[in-house]
Amino acid sequence: MIDFKQLAQKYKTPLYIYDLDHMTAQYTELKDAFKARKSILCYAVKANSNLSVVRHFAKMGSGADCVSIGEVRRAFLAGIPSYKIIFSGVGKNDDEIREAIEKDILYINVESEAELGRVELIAKDLDKKTRISIRVNPNIDPKTHPYISTGLHDNKFGVDLSTAKRMYIFANNSEHLDPVGIHFHIGSQLTELKPIYESAEIVADLVRSLQTIKIELKFFDVGGGLGIKYDDETLIPTYEYAQAILATLKGLDLTVICEPGRFLTANAGYFISKVLYEKQNGEKNFLVIDGAMNDLLRPALYSAYHKIEAVTDSTSSLKKVDIVGPVCESGDFFAKDYLLPNLAHNDLVVVHSAGAYGFGMGSNYNTRGRSAEVALESGEDRLIRKRETFDDLIALEKEFLN
């Protein structure tokens, strides 16, 4: 049991808390599921990019899936070896590509023909041969929220199969490109296995057809996307997930790469916040807390559900409240019509499943400093990011004030 009250007293609120032991258990479960093959789990740094969290995965042998050179630098700082770092994303700029090549990461995951041209040019300029992978868009509906669906031709990600093949041939003929991998990622918070299996089959067939023209890949990267329980979702068992993917790879000697983010961190994270006030507008009850959409954007952005729990001695009956923050937007809510007991000033609420896409999607909107972050490990708590101060927020502007 986590003592939220004690942590709130010690570190103040709003506050992010991450249970690193839970992350370890998730990592181990998924890694074990793939044990029939060579595999690398490349933690998707965007899910929770706190350096201590990334370091935690580095210590377990994890690689990193990065989507900006900033994330690549975080991965290095956290101790992930270069040969386990992948750099994806539809819009890498020249400086990012150059740095990734210089840092000799495992591969750059290329998302368009135009990008492949830039990578070749920059590798040539550096007089290097650089490893690449191509992100294939298998045109499969992952059956998830449209904002986190990525594997349809309607989405900006990856290239279609025939373009991919053309790109592999180009890369194979280039002195500066070494095509080593193939990648797909059809979406996030996936709870159905079939679309993943179908995508893996399509992509594995492309690997086979490349073999017939003597292009031999080494890495089969299945992206991330494994769903987690926010509410009462039925999940894909990790073992079945791994088995389905491995079943598509019969006869192929490939290392499997998987890029989990949410699966590793979401349910290890809690966002705690203090009750400021209760108020009514006509029939409607509001619970105003000190955390806001700038801390946790998912409810506002995706109407995402997060379980919320009150830490209180109140024994009152439950009533429906909208749990809202101080930000000047009607979209600043954590939940609507949520059943909670009567709460008093300074009572705590705990927002669950906040360890992925929580802090990282935060902002300083309304000149609010971002929360502190705390890690729990083997019964100990420690600060892993300070609360932002007003001075932090204005640091890059102050010198221009005249």
The catalytic residues are 328
Site for ligand LLP contains 142 (CB under 6 A): no
Buried b (16+ CB within 10 A) or exposed e, 211-237: eeeebebbbbbbbbbbbbebeeeeebe
Contacts of 221 (CB under 8 A, 6+ apart): 42, 86, 109, 133, 181, 182, 183, 184, 256, 257, 258, 259
Site for ligand LLP contains 263 (CB under 6 A): yes
Give the ranges where 104-219 is alpha helix by DSSP (H): 113-125, 161-173, 193-211
Q: Please identify, using beta-carbon distances, which residue of 266 and 287 lies nearer to ligand LLP.
A: 266
> How far is Cα 343 from Cα 350, in angstroms, rounded to an integer?
13
Least distance between ligand LLP and beta carbon 375 (Å): 19
> How far is Cα 33 from Cα 37, in angstroms, rounded to an integer?
10
Site for ligand LLP contains 88 (CB under 6 A): yes
Out of 195, 225, 355, 362, the only residue in the binding site for ligand LLP (CB under 6 A) is: 225
Both tokens assigned to 368: 């609010």
**107-110 vs 130-135, strand pairing mode:** parallel
Q: Please identify, using beta-carbon distances, which residue of 17 and 257 lies nearer to ligand LLP.
A: 257
DSSP string across 178-208:
EEEEEE---BSSB--HHHHHHHHHHHHHHHH
Q: Please identify, using beta-carbon distances, which residue of 7 and 356 lies nearer to ligand LLP.
A: 356
- Please identify, among the stretches 160-168, 184-192, 239-247, 284-292, the one whose residues bind ligand LLP according to the rule CB under 6 A: 184-192
Contact flags string 66-85 toward ligand LLP, x per CB under 6 A: --------------------
Out of 8, 11, 52, 65, the only residue in the binding site for ligand LLP (CB under 6 A) is: 65
Q: Please identify, using beta-carbon distances, which residue of 98 and 262 lies nearer to ligand LLP.
A: 262
Binding residues among 330-389 for ligand LLP as defined by CB under 6 A:
356-357
Q: How many CB atoms lie within 10 A of CB 5?
A: 13
Binding residues among 241-260 for ligand LLP as defined by CB under 6 A:
259-260
Q: Please identify, using beta-carbon distances, which residue of 148 and 169 lies nearer to ligand LLP.
A: 148
Contact flags string 266-285 toward ligand LLP, x per CB under 6 A: --------------------
Least distance between ligand LLP and beta carbon 134 (Å): 13
Terminal C-alpha separation, the chain: 52
Q: Which residue has the tokens 């080494």?
A: 218
β-bridge mates for residue 257, sequence order: 40, 221
Q: Please identify, using beta-carbon distances, which residue of 285 and 353 lies nearer to ligand LLP.
A: 353
Q: What count of Cα atoms within 13 Å lies in the side-chain half-sphere of residue 360?
A: 21
> How far is Cα 183 from Cα 123, in angstroms, rounded to an integer?
21
Out of 262, 274, 306, 352, the only residue in the binding site for ligand LLP (CB under 6 A) is: 262
Residue count at the site for ligand LLP (CB under 6 A)? 20
Out of 8, 30, 41, 44, the only residue in the binding site for ligand LLP (CB under 6 A) is: 44
Residues that bind ligand LLP (CB under 6 A): 44, 47, 65, 88, 148, 185, 188-189, 223-226, 259-263, 298, 356-357
